[in-house]
Structure 1
Amino acid sequence: MRKDWIEAFPAAQRETARAALAGAFGPAQIDTVTPVGGGASGALPYRVEVGGRPYLLRIEGKASPLRNPHQYHALRIAAASGIAPVVHHIDEVARVVVTDFIAHRPLQTYPGGPAALVVAIGALLARLQEGPVFPHFVDYPDIVGRLFAHVRRTGLFADGLLDAHFERLGRISQAYAGGLDRLVASHNDLIPGNILFDGQRLWLIDWESAYRNDPLVDVATVLDTLATAPALEAAFLRAWLGRAPDADLLTRLELTRALTRLYYAGVMLSGSAAAGRAAPDTDLSCPSLEDFRQAIADGLLTPGTVETRHLLGKMFLASFLTGAEPPGFEHAVLA
């Protein structure tokens, strides 16, 4: 047994990690501990090898005021349904989880290409939504409104610059509430980084935002990230719904897509605000999707920087207002 494996963790997290691994594996030997890339949430994930088998230990980041209290309940349900990796230990107080480790391959390598991938995601999403429901947390327009209100309060933008977005959010929320007829188990952050392909099948991970919600929220996110071409959109919707969507569903889907775009604008811009700016931004102009991708390719924008996230946030704001294609969540940008 390596005596120094605990040193792979930050000093402040070592006892949390030690207790979690003891809870999962008892006195079993810990062979190796290796940090793995984290996402935008601030979680600390580690690959832990025990008896020659890999597991994932994930210590959550600092809880936010908008923290979902039902994430671990949702994770247990999803794991029991074979949608999330097998869970070996959860400590809700310490906010730490041990699961199977999924050695994933790029989604671009999925057999059959993008068309087969979106069909598989649609079928997996249908399984999730047809299964046991998660506890309710908050109505989706409310969580979008809370996050957007936070962005407005930070002083990130000059006074009045986001007024048009605030007014549109009010109109959309009112129309949206009138058409909601059912709530289902929802992941609520179904971006490509939270969908893993192990060479055989897909898994959904990172259940921090999971609670009972409108089924179209996950659908809208997939449409704006992976099923972005008309043929892919049609294939995904048919795989998810079991038939072609009717006009009423498509109309409601447009409302939901506007809300998810404003939500992700809030995610990006909250991070930008936390980093601080010398003065409020007075300009909402942003590049087209093609120009943004070219700037990344040319090295004019650096993936993962505050500047790039701020620009992404403004692109999502523009998409919310106009319905233009949003920037999506290419892994290279969010890594």
Structure 2
Amino acid sequence: MSQTLSQHIPAPLTAAVETALQQAFGTASITDVSLLAGGLSASPVFKIIVRDQPYVLKLGKSGSFPANLKLAADAGIAPPLHYHDTTSGISISGLINNKPLRNVFGPERLPQELAATVRAIHSVPYQATADNLQETIDGMIAGFRKSNILSGPVIDECFSNYDIIRSKYPWNDQEQVFSHNDLNPSNILCDGERIWIIDWDVSSLNDRYIDLANAANFFVYGEEQEKAFLDTYFDGAADEYKAARFYIMRQVGRIIYSMLMFQLAAQAKPKDYAHNQEMEGFTLQEFRTQMGAGTLSLATYEGQFMYGKALLNEAVHQMRTPRFAAALAVIG
């Protein structure tokens, strides 16, 4: 193995990585390797250059490699898969030279392109046991409360409304499909012509609306885009029930990602750290403005903590609207 690669790969995995390279390319020689940042995956991900071509080397946990990555690659949703080992968790995929989705498709085409991609994911045949989404969310909220990172009336209002959702939402119906479960901008790439989805570590059988809600929360704005998004996904006019369920799940998705952000923020500080309890003024618009200006980063405690607050505030704001009450009545 080259010295360049051995400097980055943990010693216990060097032999397995060398085998992967030999089987994929007939050589273990690479000319460059660099750590890829930007996602929330716990697995180390590298850009490697082999014979002047870029690839993605991912070191998953031993024995935990998701066969789902191969399913997605075979379906043409994930980038081409050149090597995967279900025992070691190592995979090598094609590298997408990512271009901003909004620049490529514009506001008129993006909702449809995104919805078509989500529909393609959900069309992949999948027989594994479904995850229990309700239990997952309950566990995340319990972990948040235990961390004591944040409290106050906005937090109480949020979880009080979630308890109402929890009692009314049809968690265990027949809407279970093959789902990515983490459709955030780090995992939705574009090569300038089409969308590719990466990082399938948490994919499973799940409620179709979690993927729809997560993707929309990052890329779909306003009633017109929302209608185009849902109509494309459902191949026609989305009825009142579908729209209501989607809207409620958008708030659940915001709560999920806020819990993830607070979890990351809590890990960055000592247990007795006095976190700022102020919630006023922490909006998604302000967060996006600071991110765009480069004054905030999701790689830092400050960015994670503010994003968690902004997401929670947005969920609470939406759950105060007449539309939320009407949507609950429809699904109830």
Residues 282 and 309 of structure 2 are in contact (CA less than 8 Å); yes or no, is this contact kept in structure 1?
no
Does 1:196 pair with 2:189? yes
SS in 1 for 2:169: helix
* Counterpart Cα distance in 2 of 1:95 and 1:162: 38
> What is the aligned counterpart of 1:106 among 93, 100, 112?
100
Residues 56 and 94 of structure 2 are in contact (CA less than 8 Å); yes or no, is this contact kept in structure 1?
yes
- 2:90 paired residue number: 96
> What is the aligned counterpart of 1:309 among 292, 304, 307?
304
Query: Structure 1 residues 292 and 51 mapped into 2: Cα distance closer, same or farther (>3 Å)?
Result: closer
What do residues 178-233 of structure 1 show as CA deviations (whole Å, max 9, x unaligned)? 68332111111111221111122211111112111111111111221111132222
> What is the aligned counterpart of 1:77 among 50, 71, 79?
71
Q: Which amino acid aligns with 2:280?
A: S
Residues 83 and 204 of structure 1 are in contact (CA less than 8 Å); yes or no, is this contact kept in structure 2?
yes
* Counterpart Cα distance in 1 of 2:28 and 2:303: 44
* Counterpart Cα distance in 2 of 1:197 and 1:297: 20
SS in 1 for 2:49: strand
* Counterpart Cα distance in 1 of 2:226 and 2:94: 32
- 2:202 paired residue number: 209
Does 1:132 pair with 2:125? yes
* Counterpart Cα distance in 1 of 2:193 and 2:239: 33
SS in 2 for 1:88: strand
Query: Structure 1 residues 280 and 54 mapped into 2: Cα distance closer, same or farther (>3 Å)?
Result: closer
* Counterpart Cα distance in 1 of 2:30 and 2:304: 38
Does 1:289 pair with 2:292? no
* Counterpart Cα distance in 2 of 1:161 and 1:153: 17
Alignment root-mean-square deviation, CA: 2.9
Query: Structure 1 residues 153 and 303 mapped into 2: Cα distance closer, same or farther (>3 Å)?
Result: closer
Alignment of 1:229-308 (within 5 A): 229-277=222-270, 278-279=273-274, 281-296=276-291, 301-302=296-297, 304-308=299-303
Query: Structure 1 residues 295 and 100 mapped into 2: Cα distance closer, same or farther (>3 Å)?
Result: closer
What do residues 134-163 of structure 1 show as CA deviations (whole Å, max 9, x unaligned)? 523422222112112111111212588744
Q: Which amino acid aligns with 1:251?
A: A
* Counterpart Cα distance in 2 of 1:295 and 1:52: 37
- 2:35 paired residue number: 35
> Percent identity over the alignment?
27
* Counterpart Cα distance in 2 of 1:233 and 1:255: 13
* Counterpart Cα distance in 2 of 1:158 and 1:115: 40
Query: Structure 1 residues 127 and 295 mapped into 2: Cα distance closer, same or farther (>3 Å)?
Result: closer
Q: If the length of structure 2 is used for normalisation, what is the TM-score?
A: 0.84
What do residues 263-314 of structure 1 show as CA deviations (whole Å, max 9, x unaligned)? 1011100001111252255443342333334444566545532012111111
* Counterpart Cα distance in 1 of 2:96 and 2:90: 17
Q: If the length of structure 1 is used for normalisation, what is the TM-score?
A: 0.83
Residues 133 and 184 of structure 1 are in contact (CA less than 8 Å); yes or no, is this contact kept in structure 2?
yes
- 2:162 paired residue number: 169
Q: Which amino acid aligns with 2:233?
A: W
Does 1:58 pair with 2:20? no
